[in-house]
Amino acid sequence: MTENEMMVEVAYALPHEQLIVPVKVKQGITAEQAIAASGIIHKFPEIDLAINKIGIFGKLSKLDAPLRHLDRVEIYRPLIADPKEVRKQRAADGKVMKKGGGDAPPET
């Protein structure tokens, strides 16, 4: 790798599949350019950068954001359900939200 090159990753995940593509790029590249260079859109044609939001290490970002060495650009899928609405509906139905994945012991 030369002085004006750096490594970044582009990530996209589906419920049962994820792909993280390492890409060698030039310094000063934008997130959108890194996504294009990764070829990830050819593997997942459902990605539409006009609709899908992106982030860098979990923080929402814009397509024209400049990247730094070892950044990870993440492409997010649209939410199927609004989490706030789901919680409201559970509360209205009287259901108890449990912490963790197992059955909670009965409260006494």
Predicted confidence pLDDT, tens digits, the chain (108 residues)? 788 999 999 999 998 999 999 999 999 999 999 999 999 999 999 999 999 999 999 999 999 999 999 999 999 998 777 778 778 888 888 766 556 555 555 565
In a domain, 53, yes or no: yes
Q: Does residue 22 lie in a domain region?
A: yes
Pairing mode, strands 54-56 and 17-26: unpaired
Tell me whether residue 21 is in a domain: yes
Looking at the chain, how many residues does it have?
108
In the numeric block, the tokens 């990753």 are attached to 9
Domain range for 64: 5-75
Q: Please give the tally of structural domains in the chain.
A: 1
CATH number at residue 15: 3.10.20.280
User: How far is C-alpha 63 from the chain's CA centre?
Assistant: 13
Strand partners, 13: 18
Q: Is residue 102 part of a domain?
A: no
Residue 49 lies in a domain: yes
Mapping DSSP to helix (H, G, I), strand (E, B) and coil, where does residue 20 land?
A: strand
Backbone angles phi, psi at 85, to 5 degrees: -65, -40
